[in-house]
Amino acid sequence: MRYSLYGECEGLLGEGQGPFLVEEDGRIIDVSRTAARAGVRLGMPVREALALIPGCRVESATGESTPWRHLRQVLWSHTPWVETHPDERRFWIELSGPRVPLAELRQMARDIRRGLTEEQRVVLALAKTPWQARMLLAWSRQERVPGALYRKLGAEPLVVAPDLLNREDEAVWMRAPIAASWWIPDDAKAELISLGVFRLKDLVEIPEDMLCARFGEQARIWRMKGTENRGLRPDRPPEAWSASWRGDAEGVLLEQAKMQVRLCLESLCSRLVRLGLAVQTLSIALWTDAREIRWEKRIAKPTPQPDALWAQMAWPEEIHRARRIWGVELCATEVAELRPVQMGLLEQGKALDALEARDSANRLERLNAWDVWMSKWPKLQRGMAADFRERRLALVLAEMAR
């Protein structure tokens, strides 16, 4: 099952340790937690903000801040499905699993906290879709969501949607307050509330012609937004997920370009292995004398081995008509985590003897075989695991002890 995690960041656009404000064009675009508790709000003029918290340091928004860059790196290390909006201080990611991934979220919050100060934090909400996750967090800021699970992941608060805990609560979203609907203008929300329209279900019950006569044609979109099933629009993968080569002005022949593709593929696999990842979908781009050629290849079984990926490469026919090639770019648009593999070294005596026989001149020791296995299974784990008979005997003994 897929889960959508939505987060709103507080103070991540700044770099300061103490209370600080981040301004752009004379308006506040981000505040630290101390400044927020003092009453500073987004969009407030800098003079009014400094009147509320005198002596507070004011920073200017300049590109991507260090805390926000750290946040993105942590998110990318957990999932490739990441959508971030630094200007709006929010992000979405998608996770998958048979049950609510509380343990993974707790580890993610710990990793995020390592790059933040006490003046910064991230507020999280988990639901089935990106729209529901954002609505859940907006709803929780207005009132307590009935049936939702509230948790503290260290300093980061988390809200889990009611329909993830109880299937009977799937219609809970129509009971969300109008005040939490970010797509309706503030003046229209205030007028709707004054007319007795407090929930989304109340908005749906109003006839469409009456709604448009009062608020104009834009009111037609309000209902559609209330049932929006928006998908995630992932960011471009990080640089570690891509490898490229650029030739000189004359370019190279196709066979030489294929050699460069092979080298880029080996470099890409080595980077992903260090992150515990393998290629799931590979995007290839070649710049030829005629035009740019792009195609994607989805790998049936994700593997960290460049030889296996190279064997599955499918070259388009138009590639063979190109005379010269000026550049190559490979990008892993989708990755998969490497699964741990366990092997008992004491049970592989025959394989080790064969390795020693092949390299008798250097007298390969038993422990050197570990490097050979690591090249094939990068996430290999040392240790011994109980076999089926041992586990069955343990169950029998446990039953006898009762």
C-alpha–C-alpha distance, residues 188 and 221, integer Å:
13
C-alpha–C-alpha distance, residues 325 and 277, integer Å:
30
Average the pLDDT over each of 51-55, 78-82, 298-302, 368-372 and give the range with the smallest value: 368-372
The more confident residue out of 240 and 287 is: 287
* Structural contact between residues 215 and 185, judged by C-beta atoms closer than 8 angstroms: no
Confidence of residue 124 (pLDDT cuts 50, 70, 90): very high
Q: Is 390 exposed, middle or buried (0-12, 13-18, 19+ CB in 10 A)?
A: exposed
**Helical segments of 282-380, H only:** 306-311, 349-358, 369-376
The more confident residue out of 132 and 242 is: 132
Q: What angle do CA 194, 142, 146 make, to 5 degrees?
A: 110
Q: Is 299 exposed, middle or buried (0-12, 13-18, 19+ CB in 10 A)?
A: middle
SS3 call for 300: strand
C-alpha–C-alpha distance, residues 187 and 194, integer Å:
11
The more confident residue out of 144 and 399 is: 144
Q: Tell me the per-residue pLDDT of 16-45, one tens digit each, with 9 for 90 and over.
A: 778 889 988 889 999 998 888 888 888 899
Q: How many CB atoms lie within 10 A of CB 239?
A: 10
Give the pLDDT confidence score for residue 227 in this predicted structure. Answer: 58
| Cα atoms in the 13 Å half-sphere on the side-chain side of 144 | 5
Percent of the chain with pLDDT over 70: 84
Angle between helix axes 66-78 and 102-113 (nearest 10 degrees) is 150
User: Sign of the C-alpha dihedral, residues 387, 349, 367, 337?
Assistant: negative
pLDDT at 176 over 50: yes
Residue 389 CA to its chain's centroid (Å): 41
Q: Tell me the per-residue pLDDT of 126-151, one tens digit each, with 9 for 90 and over.
A: 999 899 999 999 999 999 999 899 99
Give the pLDDT confidence score for residue 360 in this predicted structure. Answer: 47
- As beta bridge partners, residue 20 has 57
What tokens appear for 151 in the block? 């948790």
Give the pLDDT confidence score for residue 72 in this predicted structure. Answer: 87
Residue 86's identity, in one-letter code, is P
C-alpha–C-alpha distance, residues 176 and 158, integer Å:
18
The more confident residue out of 176 and 272 is: 176
Q: What is the arithmetic mean of pLDDT over 341-354?
A: 49
